[in-house]
Amino acid sequence: MKKLILFQGDSITDAGRDKDNPTCLGMGYPSRVAGSLGADRPNDFEFLNRGVSGNRIVDVYARIKWDFINLKPDYASIYVGVNDAWHEIEWQNGVEDEKFERIYGMMIEEVQAACPGIRLMLIAPYVLEGWATKATEEQPDRFDRFQTDVAAKAVAVRHVAEKYRLPLIELQPIFDAACEVAPAAHWSVDGVHPTPAGHELIKRAWLEAFEYLE
């Protein structure tokens, strides 16, 4: 019997998936992971993507039963955090750092209790300078706020990973290193959402971390 891998998160995981087709993986790193693992190990895994564009940690937690526990995955990765910062900068509707970390921990505990034996990995958010994140006349400190707030969410994800002894993918250093080779626009469409090359970076990091889950 094939083991189920679930991808959970926000728009970076969603990646344009067709919500009317439950097996659609979108056009981002989940599809790339499924392509690599599906080609190398065609009899071992099946894949589901339940990322939802715009989600903050409170939104992922709100659908934990339907989009996580009821699916009973054997493996799952969670990628959330940038909207918790972005929504505060844009609409004053973000999630403060302490609350973000607390709800994230609650979610992990509930998933582990409901799905004994599940193997989880966490992905910490990154941000680059792009048209959605750069300073504007109205917000001259916009990119500074993005950097500070997203970094704080990444630290919170690290704390959760350490507390529950889960593999962690820290994307900021990966994307920062990539930007030394090619400009930010090569890796991210707007400073938040990856280009195909950016999704490839995430896929490679995901597959490396997955080795520690098996």
User: What SS3 state is found at 79?
Assistant: strand
At 69 the pLDDT is 98
At 213 the pLDDT is 85
| Residue 166: exposure state from Cβ atoms within 10 A (0-12, 13-18, ≥19) | buried
**pLDDT grade for 163, boundaries at 50, 70 and 90:** very high
**pLDDT grade for 186, boundaries at 50, 70 and 90:** very high
Q: Using one digit for the tens of pLDDT, what is the confidence trace for 134-162? A: 999 999 999 999 999 999 999 999 999 99
At 109 the pLDDT is 98
As beta bridge partners, residue 45 has: 3
Letter for the amino acid at 93?
N
Average pLDDT over residues 161-187: 98
Ranges of beta strands (E only) in the chain are 3-9, 45-49, 75-79, 119-124, 168-170
CA 166/CA 6 separation, integer angstroms: 16
**Residue 214 in this model has a pLDDT that exceeds 90:** no
- Residue 187 has, within 13 A of its CA and on its CB side, a CA count of 23
At 209 the pLDDT is 97
Q: Using one digit for the tens of pLDDT, what is the confidence trace for 69-78? A: 999 999 999 9
At 168 the pLDDT is 98
Q: Using one digit for the tens of pLDDT, what is the confidence trace for 1-14? A: 999 999 999 999 99
- The per-residue pLDDT of the chain, averaged, comes to 97
**Residue 55 in this model has a pLDDT that exceeds 90:** yes
Q: What is 3-210's CATH topology?
A: Rossmann fold (3.40.50)
Average pLDDT over residues 62-88: 98
Task: Please give the structure tokens belonging to residue 151.
Answer: 């970094």
**Residue 59 in this model has a pLDDT that exceeds 90:** yes
